[in-house]
Amino acid sequence: MTALLQTDLQNAAPLIGRGKVRDLYAVGNDLLMVATDRISAFDHVLATGIPGKGKILTQISLFWFELLADLVPNHILTAKVDEYPAQLHPFRAQLEGRSMLVKRAAMFPIECVARGYLAGSGWKEYQASQTVCGIALPAGLLDGSKLPEPIFTPATKSMDGSHDENIGFEAAAALLGQDDAAELRRLTLAIYQKATAHAAGCGLLLADTKFEFGRIDGQIVLADEVLTPDSSRFWEASQWKPGGAQPSFDKQFVRDYLEEIRWNKQAPAPALPPAVAERTLAKYLEAFKRLTGRELSL
């Protein structure tokens, strides 16, 4: 199986842009989001893709969009190529299983992050100040500790692909207005609570995750991707032990390899050995099967 690193729809739809993983096209007043097999680490897209990763991410997102529909509407129109405009049908091989036709939304300029456990940038901030995004936390927590209750820790969206910056609620309210910031906090924590309960039933801990919201016809909707290993930390519940890194379902094999070879984290990003790519794909596939209870044919 060959990794799809870049889509090419020729003149069927104008390309709006390419993110770290997704290619975005305009289709009339709507958008076509295509998840490629690109993989990024340390804010750089690597030379090697993970074959099938884009399909896994898309199918996980579709599963969650459906599961969460009673909490918040979303921007999905269809993920079936047969229901796409006819000019896209010749590109089925690039689109099948890894694309979504969505409504265009006015996106809020923040990432909505929910944390139930201390990890990543939250752990770093806690070590320095015993806070995360200005929220005071108890003393004595460890890397991987469960928080007393889930917290909303928004971040600004980076426009150039570099690191997002954690901000406090008041800074988010200054950007969005108090009412919208409060509603996004409510939605973020409600979604996190439901997703955490579902993950627990699958033997997984949802340590943290980030959502993107937009507005369509005045209504707030959940958009982009949702609760995938690219945007969330899923840990093996049976192996959870605070005090260090946890066994996780994400690109940790990739990060570990890049640290081992002492890459300077500057472009160009290196390629990955086949074994690292295969182990990473296996983790993404396992996450899909555990969360959805389904098999996925790549």
What backbone torsions phi and psi does residue 172 show, to the nearest 5 degrees?
Answer: -65, -40
Of the CA atoms within 13 Å of residue 290, those in its CB half-sphere come to 23
Residue 40 Cα to chain centre, angstroms: 12
Let me know if residue 149 belongs to a domain: yes
Let me know if residue 260 belongs to a domain: no
Domain final position from 190, 212, 239: 239
What are the residues whose beta carbons fall under 8 Å from the beta carbon of 242, sequence distance 6 or more?
118, 141, 142, 143, 144, 145, 146
Nearest of 54, 62, 59 to residue 6 by alpha carbon: 54
Number of structural domains the chain divides into: 2
Same domain membership, residue 178 and residue 122: yes
Same domain membership, residue 173 and residue 137: yes
Let me know if residue 263 belongs to a domain: no
With contact defined as beta carbons under 8 Å apart, do 168 and 134 qualify? Answer: yes
Same domain membership, residue 171 and residue 97: no
Let me know if residue 128 belongs to a domain: yes
- Cα–Cα distances in Å, from 112 out to 44, 59, 62? 22, 21, 19
Q: Which residue is listed with tokens 């988010």?
A: 172
d(CA 241, CA 237): 9
CATH number where 150 lies: 3.30.470.20
Let me know if residue 41 belongs to a domain: yes
Same domain membership, residue 75 and residue 57: yes
CATH number where 92 lies: 3.30.200.20
Domain final position from 104, 120, 146: 104
Q: What is the residue range of 81's domain?
A: 1-104
Same domain membership, residue 164 and residue 48: no
Same domain membership, residue 164 and residue 79: no
With contact defined as beta carbons under 8 Å apart, do 203 and 236 qualify? Answer: yes
Let me know if residue 253 belongs to a domain: no
Same domain membership, residue 100 and residue 113: no
Nearest of 216, 264, 190, 217 to residue 41 by alpha carbon: 264
**Residue 256 carries which side chain, given as an amino acid letter?**
D
**What are the mean pLDDT values of the chain's consecutive 10-residue runs (298 residues total)?**
93 95 97 96 90 97 98 98 98 97 97 95 93 93 97 82 78 95 98 98 97 97 95 95 91 86 91 91 95 91
d(CA 252, CA 269): 16
Residue 195 Cα to chain centre, angstroms: 14
Same domain membership, residue 47 and residue 13: yes
Let me know if residue 298 belongs to a domain: no
Same domain membership, residue 118 and residue 181: yes
**Residue 137 carries which side chain, given as an amino acid letter?**
L
Domain final position from 212, 239, 266: 239
Same domain membership, residue 226 and residue 114: yes
With 0-12 / 13-18 / 19 or more C-beta atoms within 10 angstroms meaning exposed / middle / buried, residue 186 is: exposed
Let me know if residue 97 belongs to a domain: yes
Query: In this predicted structure, what is the pLDDT of residue 162?
Result: 54
